[in-house]
Chains A and B, each alone.
Chain A
Amino acid sequence: MSPLLLTMSVLLAAAMIVAGIVTIRARTISIAILASGAVSLFASVMFLLLAAPDVAMTEAAIGSGLTTFLFFFVLGRIRSGNYD
């Protein structure tokens, strides 16, 4: 692994850890959802660096795309006051 890739990987890992801490420490739920989406986004870039573009696409589409959307969708439902 070249020094540039190594530096980027370490930075990405640090960013993932920070985003994970923000997820569990966030004051509002929307920030927590965004931060957990960011963890997936950093993870997908990490997969790209590890030469696995197929896995990176799956992670970006499902982990950071669909899951984040779904969480916001459910959050919107709960906020509109329609729970059973």
Chain B
Amino acid sequence: MIKHVIALLLLIGLGAVFAGLMVGYTPDTVLNYTANYYAEQTASEVGAANIVTAIIVTYRGLDTLGEVTVLFLTAAIIALVLKRDRQPGFEAQHGWPPSGELLHTGSRLLVPLVLLLGVYVFVKGHLSPGGGFQGGAIVASSVLLMLLTDPLRRFSHRLIAVIESGSGLAYVGIGFIGLLLGGGFLDNRILPLGSLGDMFSAGAIPVIYSLIGLKVGAEFSSMMVNLSETEEQ
């Protein structure tokens, strides 16, 4: 009983806070100084049709490197914690319930499509909404769909690790090339900007975002695969 009262009080408090925010909110009628700069200068400076991508990859590129590092640390810690319990050469052959005809046939159709959508999202990150993080998550969800269909499926840890660290190294490497050839770390103008809205435009942004997509996809996939293999003892 007392639990319910506390939960109710907490809800009312939260509601009051949000109601206060809602009442005091007046939408801006003009863009503020920073937003105005991004809206006006992105097309000529960075050449990306998607301003959000221009901010994430170029203007705030260092922050994105930090985010990717945090994600990498998470994946590494999950692998470290779960690895302790795993014995090499231990092949689990428990009687899994079969995953069902619907899931099996459906995933055979869906996995390539989901994978393709993920790659499309991160390759076209500079033109359409989305980018490396979203695309990487979509790629990882196709890996999870495969695991869901067949829990005993084995993925190559070496391949995942090579994709993950290779794209991470290439990302930082492009950053340093920007330092040498362009205006600073992770400058995208090391490649020609092209015309706004083309597939090959916005300098190095498609390359960087594809690398981020591969890295994020590999990190999420390694989390799933580690989780799946440790549970099997």
Contact = CB atoms under 8 A, between A and B. Distances in A.
A80 interface: yes
A58 B148 contact: no
Interface of A is mostly: helix
A65 B96 contact: no
Interface of B is mostly: helix
Interface residues of B, number: 26
A76 B148 CA distance: 9
Contacts of B141: 61, 65-66, 69
Interface in B94-122: 94-97, 121
Contact of A80 (B96, B145, B220): B96
> Which of A54, A58, A70, A79 has most B Cβ within 10 Å?
A54
B133 A58 contact: yes
Interface residues of A, number: 18
B148 A61 contact: no
B197 interface: no
Contacts of B151: 76-77
Contact of B231 (A54, A66, A69, A82): A82
